[in-house]
Chain A
Amino acid sequence: MEFNELISDFATRHKVGDLVAVDGAAALDIDGIIVTIVSNGETLTFSAEIGEPPSEGAAMFADLLLEANMHSAAFFAKAPKSETYIVVKRLSLVLVDDDAFDAALEEFVNYVETWRRLLTDFRPVAKAAAERDASENPSFGTNGFMQV
C-alpha cells in the first residue's frame, strides 16, 4: 500500500486527532508515546523513545538492550551525546496492508511501553544495589581516608 493511504486509513479507523503527516512521514501520539513513522517507498521505519539511561547500572541496562536486540524485530539505539535510548522497527511496505499496519504499530507501542516500564523499575533497583555495594566495599581516597 501507499504510505499516505496507510496513514490516512489508520487515522480514519482509529479517529486519531493528534496526527501529523507530511509526504512520507507521520508522527502519532499514542498514550503519550510519540511514534514517528517514515517511509522511503520500500520500508517503513517506526521509532520512539524509551528514556534516559539510568544514573546507576547504565552498563548493565545497556547489556539488557543489546541482548533484546538479538531476539526482537525492533532494535535499540542511542545517538552520541543524545542521553536517550530510542527503539526502532523497520518493516517492508510491500507486505503491509491496513491490518498488518495496525498489528505492527500495536506491537511496537507495546514493546516501547514494556521497555519504558522496565527502565522505570530498573532505576531504583540499580540505585539501591549501588548504595549497598558502596557500603559493603568502601573505597579509599588518595589521602588514605575512607570515602563516604
Chain B
Amino acid sequence: MNIERKLEDGKLVIKVVGRLDTNTSPELEAELGLDGVSDLVFDFSDLEYISSAGLRVLMIAQKSMTAIGGAMAVANPNTGVKDIFDITGMSSVFKII
C-alpha cells in the first residue's frame, strides 16, 4: 500500500494506493494527523480492496472530523470497493463522491 497526503487551505486529500486491509490499516491510521484540517477526502481511485480493518480506520477519521466540526468524504472508489461499502451498510455512513 502507498499513501500520499496533500494539504492545501485546510483540505487534506489522502490518496491510498493498493490494498487497505488488516496489515496496512495501521499505516493509514498513523497518517491521520488532522491538525488544521477542515475537509478530509480519501482518494480511493487506486484502492484495490478495503477490509473491515480499513473501514474501522475510516470510522476513526470520521469521528475525528465530526469532533472538530469538519467534513469527510470518500472519493472515486472502484466498483469492488463500492460494493463492500454497500453490502456492509457503510454507503450510508460515509459521504461518497
Report whether chain A binds chain B. yes
Which A residues are within 8 Å of any B CB, using their own CB? 20-27, 29, 34-36, 38-40, 43, 45, 47-49, 77, 79-84, 86, 88
Q: How many angstroms between the C-alpha atoms of A21 and B93 in the bound complex? A: 11
Judge whether B80 is part of the interface by a CB distance below 8 angstroms: yes
Q: Smallest Cβ distance from B52 to chain A, in angstroms?
A: 4
Chain B residue nearest to A40 (CB atoms) is B92
Interface size class of chain B, counting residues whose CB lies under 8 Å from the partner chain: 20 to 34
Total contacts A-B at CB 8 Å: 86
Q: How many angstroms between the C-alpha atoms of A124 and B60 in the bound complex? A: 37
Query: Which residues in B have their C-beta under 8 angstroms from that of A22?
Result: 59, 62-63, 66, 93
- Extra contacts besides A45-B88, A48-B52 (10): CB < 8 Å: A22-B66, A23-B93, A25-B59, A38-B89, A40-B89, A47-B52, A81-B78, A82-B84, A83-B49, A86-B52
Q: How many angstroms between the C-alpha atoms of A129 and B60 in the bound complex? A: 44
Partner of A20, one of B63, B90, B92: B63
Query: Which residues in B have their C-beta under 8 angstroms from that of A29?
Result: 56
A38 in contact with B60 given A77-B87, A82-B49 (CB within 8 Å): no
Q: List 16 A-B contacts (CB under 8 A).
A: A20-B56, A20-B59, A22-B93, A23-B93, A27-B59, A34-B51, A34-B52, A34-B56, A35-B52, A40-B92, A48-B52, A79-B83, A81-B78, A82-B83, A84-B49, A88-B87
B84 touches A79 (CB 8 A): yes
A81 in contact with B87 given A20-B59, A20-B63, A25-B59 (CB within 8 Å): no
Q: How many angstroms between the C-alpha atoms of A77 and B89 in the bound complex? A: 13
Q: Smallest Cβ distance from B55 to chain A, in angstroms?
A: 5
Judge whether B39 is part of the interface by a CB distance below 8 angstroms: no
A27 touches B92 (CB 8 A): no
Q: Smallest Cβ distance from A89 to chain B, in angstroms?
A: 11
A24 touches B92 (CB 8 A): yes
Query: Which residues in A have their C-beta under 8 angstroms from that of B55?
Result: 27, 34, 36
Q: How many angstroms between the C-alpha atoms of A20 and B52 in the bound complex? A: 12
Chain A residue nearest to B67 (CB atoms) is A22
7 nearest CB pairs, A to B: A38-B89, A27-B56, A45-B89, A79-B83, A81-B80, A34-B52, A47-B88
Query: Which residues in B have their C-beta under 8 angstroms from that of A86?
Result: 52, 84, 87-88
